[in-house]
A and B are shown apart, each in its own frame.
Chain A
């Protein structure tokens, strides 16, 4: 049950786009289209932003999008806004568990 690999930090200026990667294996990310992304602001509970690789729950801005290629999934945030500054976590289904990534801190410059 090793964690998925994410960059520790990314940054971008308002209005720019950024992408966060999430690398796993063929037993998790690469084996299923069941990758999710969560946003977490300090002191708050995580919020689901993307499910099943690229689907947005109702109420989530269309500036957030997800994709996957092989064993790596990606979260792209376009038109960066100050309120996007937060920690982001990917997760993946496995046959008997859920794996999370280590988290990526997004800084909006």
Chain B
């Protein structure tokens, strides 16, 4: 059974940092591209970042470029999101999601981890 389990969320002050993790199991993690998607309270889905299966190709949304860093450790079946210079508008539930293939459709999602940026 495919499972994605996020962790690392919490309350952080504006300007602070947080590192999210996503533990994958039930599939060959190193063969799949992965994404982080977030959802602010009461709002819609927003794509945040993408990483290829090898980690060699990475993309970011303009809203987080220069502040967030996506990475993965295929030996540990884990995906990460390092978030720096956090702002109030980064408050959201952060989901990790697996891409099914070339079409970018995300076929498995974690349960999400809540990040709250507030003083």
Q: Which residues from chain A sit less than 8 Å from chain B, CB to CB?
A: 1, 3, 33-34, 36, 38, 40, 45-48, 51-52, 57, 87, 89, 91, 93, 96-103
**Assuming A52-B103, A91-B45, A102-B44, what are 10 further A-B pairs, CB within 8 angstroms?**
A1-B62, A36-B103, A36-B106, A46-B106, A48-B107, A89-B44, A93-B103, A96-B59, A97-B59, A100-B45
5 cross-chain pairs, A with B, having the tightest CB-CB distances, nearest first: A51-B105, A103-B44, A36-B105, A45-B109, A34-B103
Q: Which residues from chain B sit less than 8 Å from chain A, CB to CB?
A: 35, 37, 44-47, 50, 59, 61-62, 95, 97, 100, 102-107, 109-112
CB-contact partner of A45 in B50, B61, B112, under 8 A: B112
Q: Which residues of A contact B44 (CB under 8 A)?
A: 3, 87, 89, 100-103
Q: Which residues of B contact A3 (CB under 8 A)?
A: 44
Expressed in whole angstroms, the minimum distance between the Cβ of B60 and any Cβ of chain A is 8
